[in-house]
Structure 1
Amino acid sequence: MADPLAGIPLASIRVFEAAARLRSFTRAAEELGMTQAAVSWQIKALEGRLGQSLFRRLPREVQPTEGGERLSRAATEAIGLLRRAVSDLTEADEHILSITTLATLATQWLAPRLGAFQVANPGLAVRLDTNPALLDLSRESFDLGIRSGHGEWPGLESQLLMPSVFTPLCSPATAGRLTLSEPGDLLEAPRIGLEKEWAAWFVAAGVASATRAASRLTADNQVLEVAAALGDQGVALASPILFAREIRSGLLVRPFPQTVSFHSGYYLVWPEGRRRSPKIARFRDWLMAQAEADPTVAEARAGSA
């Protein structure tokens, strides 16, 4: 049987994949460093070889035909596999481990432990990124990510790192000013964080009330909200795992044991097909061992079981 790919240049497939993904010959040309005319010529040549149209040309964009959609999905997957294979074979790439993660988890839990990993792996430099955007690891230059959710993302494999639990935290001075003998006492306390999250915690703590004071402050990550709590501004809803050092040192008080979860946990993720990459495997095994050895993680796992 004749090879259906015979005579079809890989460059044409690459151009087609970009145009289908971006829905634009112009944007594909910009991404690939080509002219729009060159992209159009490559697409026409590919359509000629296949004997069918791959795009509907509209005034402001192009849309893949039914056949174009099928070819686009396969082309994107194939190019992603090729990109990862080339990356894994590049010696320089094996000396840099790029990780994208959540800012609070990076600051409070991961960064203080990374020194031990680098001592054990002196030939591997770690690049840590805390961009809040949900990056596409199959296309971006990152090897691993740590994400919050339920463990299912297209094109990624995942492993649960730790549960996601939240509990009230405040400074000793704030705890001393307030009467906190039962969870319901927090209804009228100065609170930090989103009201819908506090409402969920009150339900988890068995507190049913339609009247409660509004939160005084919200921020876009836990570090900022807990910083406000450390400054005696109120009670924050935050992770007892990520702020375990502050709790142990007495900087923060945990007035009640009840916790609430907004998703199943924090997951270590990597692109499909890269499980066996030596640097990914080394970091994954080390990170999971760190989580296993953390007593606050074990406590949270027991509480959410």
Structure 2
Amino acid sequence: MPDILATLPLSAIRIFEAAARLKSFTRAADELGVSQAAVSWQVKALEQRLDQPLFVRRPREVDLTPAGERLSRAATEAMAILRAAVSDLVETEEGVLSITTVQSLGAQWLAPRLGGFQVAHPRIAVRLETSSRVVDLTRETYDLALRGGQGHWPGLESHYLAPSIQTALCTPAFLARIGGLATPADLVDAPRIGSAAEWATWFDAAGVAPCDDRAVPRLMADAQALEVASALAEQGVALGSPIFYAQDLAQGRLVAPFDVVAHYGGGYWITYPAERRRVRKIAAFRDWILAQAAADPLIARHRAP
């Protein structure tokens, strides 16, 4: 019996994968830089070759048939493996390592250490970008991500870096201006920055009973770095990681009024597509950053129980 796969052109599989993922022939055509008619023709030819429909056509989009669902899963995996294989063939140690990271981890913990990586790997240039969204590493032009969560993302390999913890932070001048804080309960009436839910977790760790509307913070941002920046500008008390802000604490720009550290579950991870684990620049950065995390005494001290 002839091998049917040998008779299927790669271009048809590539077009099918895009149409299945985007659920639209038009969007697939835009992504691949071909005409919508070309997408439709290739899909129809593939269906005829397989002697069964792969899509249910609708006015504005398409849905996969059960057969299409099966082929879509296999095609997506195959295209990812093929992209990785081609990347490995053309990859050299020289080049740019593109990293997407949450702002607090990237700016406060990673950036001050990056010089050591670049000294050890002078042929690898690092492009570091911060983003609050979860970037799709299988589709976008980033090599790896540093992100918060539980460490489980389909198709990605992840390694734990640090716990997700926060403590109350403010400037010495702000603390003096409000007359100091005697107990954690005093923070209920103090100007606070951050989300009410995160403060509730901290108050619980401090043994402060749930309180009324006074517990609503006066300011909230979409990133820890922005909230602590407001605290540095003496706008109030913010929640921040003592790991990320260790230098500010050591140099006295920030103080932690209380030795209360709340754990928020999960942690921070380095993650990348599993099929790219052997790409040299990714492996080099992974090994380096894991060594940096292992050597950080604050990470060891505050690991979740």
Give the TM-score normalised by the residue count of structure 2: 0.95
**What is the aligned partner in structure 2 of residue 223 from structure 1?**
225
**What is the aligned partner in structure 2 of residue 247 from structure 1?**
249
2:240 to 232, 238, 241: 238
**What is the aligned partner in structure 2 of residue 19 from structure 1?**
19
Q: Which runs of 5+ in 2 are unaligned?
A: none
Is residue 178 of structure 1 aligned with residue 179 of structure 2? yes
C-alpha distance in structure 2 between counterparts of 1:218 and 1:184, whole Å: 20
Percent of aligned positions that are identical: 59
- Report the more deviating stretch, 173-182 or 72-81: 173-182
Is residue 155 of structure 1 aligned with residue 166 of structure 2? no
**What is the aligned partner in structure 2 of residue 266 from structure 1?**
268
Maintained 8 Å contact 1:87/1:93: no
**What is the aligned partner in structure 2 of residue 119 from structure 1?**
119
1:203 Cα deviation (Å)?
1.0
1:213 Cα deviation (Å)?
4.3
Maintained 8 Å contact 2:93/2:124: no
Maintained 8 Å contact 2:248/2:254: yes
**What is the aligned partner in structure 2 of residue 205 from structure 1?**
206
C-alpha distance in structure 1 between counterparts of 2:195 and 2:209, whole Å: 18
User: Residue 166 of structure 1 aligns to a residue in which SS?
Assistant: strand
Corresponding pairs, count: 303
**What is the aligned partner in structure 2 of residue 56 from structure 1?**
56
Maintained 8 Å contact 2:151/2:159: yes
- 1:37-52 alignment to 2 at 5 Å? 37-52=37-52
| Alignment RMSD | 1.4
C-alpha distance in structure 1 between counterparts of 2:196 and 2:145, whole Å: 29
**What is the aligned partner in structure 2 of residue 192 from structure 1?**
193
**What is the aligned partner in structure 1 of residue 133 from structure 2?**
133
1:93 Cα deviation (Å)?
7.8
Maintained 8 Å contact 2:196/2:215: no
Maintained 8 Å contact 1:190/1:213: no
1:94 Cα deviation (Å)?
5.1
User: Residue 38 of structure 1 aligns to a residue in which SS?
Assistant: helix
C-alpha distance in structure 1 between counterparts of 2:25 and 2:142, whole Å: 27
Per-residue CA deviations over 1:278-301 (Å, capped at 9, x if unaligned) read 211111111011111212212212
Kindly tell me: are residues 166 and 268 of structure 1, through their superposed partners in 2, closer, same or farther at Cα, counting changes over 3 Å? same
- Report the more deviating stretch, 88-97 or 75-84: 88-97
Maintained 8 Å contact 2:56/2:62: yes
C-alpha distance in structure 2 between counterparts of 1:178 and 1:231, whole Å: 18
**What is the aligned partner in structure 1 of residue 290 from structure 2?**
288
Kindly tell me: are residues 4 and 93 of structure 1, through their superposed partners in 2, closer, same or farther at Cα, counting changes over 3 Å? farther
- Report the more deviating stretch, 135-144 or 150-159: 135-144
1:133 Cα deviation (Å)?
2.1
Give the TM-score normalised by the residue count of structure 1: 0.95
1:131 Cα deviation (Å)?
2.6
C-alpha distance in structure 1 between counterparts of 2:106 and 2:162, whole Å: 13
Maintained 8 Å contact 1:148/1:263: no
**What is the aligned partner in structure 2 of residue 101 from structure 1?**
101
Maintained 8 Å contact 2:101/2:147: yes
Maintained 8 Å contact 1:170/1:230: yes
